Amino acid sequence: MKILKIIAFTLAGISVLLLILLLSMIRPDIPVEHLKEHYADETSQFIKIDGTEVHLKDEGDGPVLLLLHGMFASLHTWDHWAENMQNEYRIIRVDLPGFGLTGPHARSDYSLQASMYLLESIRNELNIDRWTLIGNSMGAGLALSYAQLYPEQTDGVVLLNGGRLLAAARQNTSDADKDEKIEEPKSEQTAESAEAHSSPEARQTDATRQSLVLRALGSPSLRNILSVLTPEFIIKASLKEVYGDPEHLEPETVTRYYELLRREGNRQAYLNRRQDRPQQNSGLPELPEPVDINDTEVPVLILWGLLDSWIPVGAGYSLHNAIHHSELIVYDDLGHVPMEEDPARTIADVREFLNRAI
């Protein structure tokens, strides 16, 4: 009997300690006005679009580039690009709804229709006739979708570790950040064509660098927990996954991701996005019929980090196979955010492409 009491007291003590540990990891939302003091500056603009105050930056002069970030990121992921390219190009960066200082969409509408309305509204608001769209991950999907829906306004497309091809039947479906089915990669080397020899190393990379964060986010219960229990060490671990070499990860980068994720409403926006709820009677204009990208003259450059554990390199080869006039470069030592991990190399490749393409 005495042993049972000791066991009971021990289990109760462990339960209390676990509860205290969980409570210590709860992180409240951060008011947007506080975050603006750190992450907005004289180049920031806030434009009301579809009821949402959208944060963007408009810098430089020349041919227009629209830079679109990926999941959980913000326009700051392009800081080095903007700094190094604004002498040659007009750089437009935007915090997409649900991220950064923009925060959640006013109607919780994260559909492709709402995303395209956002981009077209920005283009019209800033008096832009044509632009080149450059996106990473989720942003790459939006960039390629835009080129298929609005080829007349598109000078070119650059896809970094992401992108998707539309079908007419799917044009109004929601959740613009879903990834396409991943095919087997054909090479781990820089490629002009996807007809290179099959690479066991590339297949092994796809098989072994599976994202633990994505596995966790695949569970509805864990997603709900992580929307409240988001200590900084979890964010740091997530960012180490998306870098090919975690040594490239700067402490201020971790802090930025961590604080902007906690912008009031952003974590709940991610849950709303995953619920994939169709919007009825949004009042937005219907999307045009998507065109086959191969029937257009829109140049396409695909950049991919071989060490990507979120969207393996096979997806890049699949896109390259599908878009006949595309160019593909694979970086053997980079991960899911190559523009952030190695801005100098990625900028050089994009600049060379733009010099030929536009």
pLDDT in tens, 171-221: 333 444 444 333 333 333 333 333 332 343 443 344 345 566 666 556 665
CA torsion, ordered 161, 162, 165, 167, to nearest 10 deg: 160
Provide DSSP, 247-283: GG--HHHHHHHHHHHTBTTHHHHHHHHHHTPPP-S--
What is the structure's pLDDT at 193?
32
What is the structure's pLDDT at 226?
63
Q: Which are the contacts of 237, defined by CB distance < 8 A and separation ≥ 6?
A: 212, 213
Residue 281 pLDDT level (bands cut at 50, 70, 90): low
CATH of domain 45-357: 3.40.50.1820
Q: Could you give phi then psi for residue 135, rounded to 5 degrees?
A: -135, 155
| Beta bridge partner(s), residue 304 | 330
What is the structure's pLDDT at 231?
74
* Residues 40 and 101: beta-carbon distance below 8 Å: yes
* Residues 76 and 44: beta-carbon distance below 8 Å: no
Length of the chain: 358
Q: CA torsion sign, 242 to 251 to 76 to 173? A: positive
- Which of 146, 54, 126, 66 is closest to 97 using CA atoms? 54
- CA atoms of 326 and 311, how far apart (whole Å): 19
Report the amino acid identity of residue 123: R
Mean pLDDT of the 24-48 span: 88
- Which of 192, 172, 132 is closest to 320 using CA atoms? 192
- CA atoms of 49 and 119, how far apart (whole Å): 10
What is the structure's pLDDT at 232?
84
What is the structure's pLDDT at 233?
82
CB atoms within 10 A of CB 224: 12
Region of 116 (left: φ > 0; alpha: ψ -120 to 50; beta: rest) is alpha
Which residue matches tokens 């913000």? Answer: 74
* Average pLDDT over all residues of the chain: 83
Q: Which are the contacts of 145, defined by CB distance < 8 A and separation ≥ 6?
A: 112, 115, 116, 164, 166, 176, 290
Q: CA torsion sign, 145 to 151 to 152 to 156? A: positive
Which element (helix H / strand E) includes 200? helix 200-208
234 or 45: which carries more pLDDT confidence?
A: 45
What is the structure's pLDDT at 234?
83
- What does R_g of the chain's alpha carbons equal in angstroms? 21
Q: Quick one: 233 exposed, middle or buried, by C-beta within 10 A (0-12, 13-18, 19+)?
A: exposed
Q: What does the angle CA 98 – CA 34 – CA 266 come to, to the nearest 5 degrees?
A: 15
Sheet of 44-49, strand order: 44-49, 52-59, 90-94, 64-68, 131-136, 154-160, 300-305, 327-331
138 or 357: which carries more pLDDT confidence?
A: 138
pLDDT in tens, 140-169: 999 999 999 999 999 999 999 999 999 853
